[in-house]
């Protein structure tokens, strides 16, 4: 029997304020969209918009900030610096505001207006990168900013920072294991920084080597799946463990957008486009099974995507 009650770790019990609300997100079934599956197959998604900053990025953002503070990396009034395509920046800004840490973010100028509005409301200093270079352009800009004045900044570099995947190894992975009572058979996850897939994948593989780990990414270099990377044409994150995937899937932008609308209108789940892509991949895996429990991750809600045209579809 599945349960949404997760035993709290000692560190979670001692965290003050806003940080204590990170993690322990619900595991929700896909009911109507999974109606055509075998009776012994179930698909579940972690509802990561329940985090205080509104996305799964709260987990690594807080862990990276906490690790930097514990190591004294921010002493002397250094500014916290990193690149972002949106969600990670919002999570950084949420906790930086709560902790009184000055924050500078490199972000593509093509990020959605909703993201810019939230980041400005939270007080982040924004440096805009070339929209044609996507998240890789923001990475390069952050590196340039740091190189010019390394004494002023602590550069977190989420794509190379072990505290990223460790947040999921210590949190998201154990939650999925406990919520399914150890019955999860397949884990499906999109690749962006790759921290979620790497951390959860390593944890689940240790619990049961028979669990299949399936990575998902956009089907082309030019895509509209915010937060996901087409690794064949993008800079591969240093934290990515390419030995983990048992299978690799690709999803088109159009298919993900169609599924995002279906999730809203058939499941009542108002989520972002990367969640739609995750649902496509998870359901494709589930349709090939006679029995099993397929778990995926829905990184955020749909509020930051309302300016996109696909919502207008009939």
Residue 300 tokens read as 């955020």
Q: What is the rounded CA–CA span in Å between residue 92 and residue 79?
A: 12
Q: Name the catalytic one among 55, 135, 215, 274.
A: 274
Q: What is the gyration radius of the CA atoms in the chain, in angstroms?
A: 19
Reduced 3-state DSSP string for 111-152: CCHHHHHHHHHCCCEEEEECHHHHHHHHHHHHHHHHHHCCCC
Instruction: Classify residue 189 by burial, with Cβ atoms within 10 Å: 0-12, 13-18, 19+.
Output: buried
Residue that has been written with the tokens 């399936």 in this structure: 214
> Does 55 participate in catalysis according to the annotation?
no
> Does 78 participate in catalysis according to the annotation?
no
Q: What is the rounded CA–CA span in Å between residue 84 and residue 96?
A: 15
Q: What is the rounded CA–CA span in Å between residue 67 and residue 95?
A: 13
3-class state of residue 38 by DSSP: coil
Q: Name the catalytic one among 46, 55, 57, 215.
A: 57
> Residue 51's beta-bridge partner residues?
none
Where in the sequence numbering do the catalytic residues fall?
A: 57, 274
């Amino acid at each position: 029997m599945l349960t949404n009650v997760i035993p709290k770790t000692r560190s979670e019990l001692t965290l003050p304020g806003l940080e204590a609300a990170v993690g322990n997100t619900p595991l929700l079934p896909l009911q109507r969209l999974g109606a055509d599956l075998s009776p012994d197959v179930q698909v579940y998604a972690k509802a990561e918009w329940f985090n205080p900053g509104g996305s799964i990025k709260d987990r690594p953002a807080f862990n990276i900030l906490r690790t930097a503070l514990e190591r004294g990396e921010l002493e002397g009034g250094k500014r916290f610096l990193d690149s972002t395509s949106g969600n990670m920046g919002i999570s950084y800004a949420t906790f930086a505001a709560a902790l009184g840490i000055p924050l500078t973010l490199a972000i593509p100028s093509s990020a959605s207006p909703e993201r810019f509005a939230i980041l400005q409301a939270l007080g982040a200093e924004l440096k805009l990168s070339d929209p044609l270079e996507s998240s890789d352009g923001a990475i390069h800009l952050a590196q340039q900013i740091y190189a010019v004045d390394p004494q002023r900044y602590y550069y977190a570099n989420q794509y190379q920072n072990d505290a990223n995947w460790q947040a999921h190894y210590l949190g998201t992975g154990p939650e999925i294991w406990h919520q399914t009572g150890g019955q999860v058979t397949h884990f499906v996850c999109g690749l962006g920084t790759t921290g979620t897939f790497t951390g959860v994948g390593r944890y689940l593989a240790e619990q049961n080597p028979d669990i299949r780990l399936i990575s998902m990414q956009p089907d082309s270099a030019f895509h509209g799946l915010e937060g996901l990377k087409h690794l064949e044409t993008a800079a591969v994150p240093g934290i990515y463990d390419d030995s983990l995937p048992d299978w690799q899937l690709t999803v088109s932008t159009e298919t993900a957008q169609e599924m995002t609308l279906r999730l809203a209108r058939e499941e009542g789940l108002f989520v972002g486009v990367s969640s739609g892509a995750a649902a496509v991949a998870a359901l494709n895996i589930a349709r090939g099974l006679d029995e099993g429990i397929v778990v995926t991750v829905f990184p955020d809600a749909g509020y930051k995507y309302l300016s996109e045209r696909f919502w207008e579809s009939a």
